[in-house]
Amino acid sequence: MKVVIIEDEALSAKRLAKLLNEIFPQMEVLAMLESVNASLAWFYENEYPDLIFLDIQLNDGTGFEILKRLDGYPYIIFTTAYEQYALDAFKFNSIDYLLKPIDREELLTAVNKLEQIHKNEESNYQDRIEALGKQLMPSFRERFLVKVGLQFKSIPTEEVYYFSYKEGLSYLHTRDQCLPIDYTLEQLIEALDPKAFFRVNRQYVVSLKSVKEIHSYFNSRLLLTLIPASEEDVIVSRERVLNFKIWAGL
C-alpha cells in the first residue's frame, strides 16, 4: 500500500512514518508534505497513493482545500487536534480520524477500519468526506487558493479588496494583484461573509475597505471609486442601492 502523509508539524510526520513502518512494513510512504501548496504540486506530478494521512489544519490552509482540487482522491485517515466536541462530525460520517499525538493502537484500528470501508462502503465514501468538510470548516471562507504560474498561492480573505467578472472569468483583487479564480460570483457571494462583502452588480463583489469614494449617478444609481482602481466604472445597480447604503452604513 502506497501512502502520503500531509502534516505541517515535522516531528508528528516523522513519528507517524516511523509507526507505519513498524506496524505495517508493507506500506511505502511516498512523501511527507507540509502544506496545501506543496501537496497540490505533488499530486499534480505523481500518481495518487492508496491512502492519505491528512492533517486538517495546515500552515497555509486546510486539508479540505487539497481535496477540493483533486479529481477524485484516495482513502483518507484524518489527523487532528480538534477538541472532542467537534469530533461528532467524524462519527456521524463514519470517517476515521486520529487525535494527535497519534497512538499506536489507534493507528492500527484506523487502518483496519479503512479496509472494511473499502470492501463494504466504497460507493458513498467520497460523499461522506464532502459532508464532513462542510461540517468542520468555517461558515464563511477564510482564504482562497489561487494558481500563480505553476504554483498555488493561499490568500486570506481579509486581504481581498474585491472580486470582478469579465469575459467568462472571475478575478480576485488584492491591494497589488489581480488573479483569476475558479469561482463564479454566485458561488463567491454564498461563501463570503455578507457583513464584509457586497455584490453591487453582475460584475463586482466589493469589500467596504475597497470603496474609496461614492458618487451619485444618473438613473438613481451610485458610482464607486475602488481601491485598487478598477479598469471600468463600477456602478451600484438601481435595485441594489438601498441595500448597499444599509450595508455601507450610509
pTM of the model: 0.59
Residue 69's pLDDT is what?
79
* Segments of the chain with pLDDT less than 70: 73, 82-95, 116-125, 134-139
Q: What residue ranges of the chain are covered by domains with CATH 3.40.50.2300?
A: 2-136
Q: Which fold has domain 2-136?
A: Rossmann fold (3.40.50)
Backbone angles phi, psi at 178, to 5 degrees: -130, 115
Residue 85 has what pLDDT? Answer: 41
Element containing residue 225 per DSSP (H, E): strand 221-226
Fold held by 143-248: OB fold (Dihydrolipoamide Acetyltransferase, E2P) (2.40.50)
Q: Looking at the chain, which residues constitute the CATH 2.40.50.1020 domain(s)?
A: 143-248
Assign 34 to helix, strand or coil.
coil
| Long-range contacts of 195-202, Cβ-Cβ distance < 8 Å, separation of 24 or more | 195/247, 196/157, 197/163, 198/240, 198/243, 198/244, 198/247, 198/248, 199/240, 200/224, 200/234, 200/235, 200/236, 200/237, 200/240, 200/244, 201/234, 201/235, 201/236, 201/237, 201/240, 202/165, 202/237
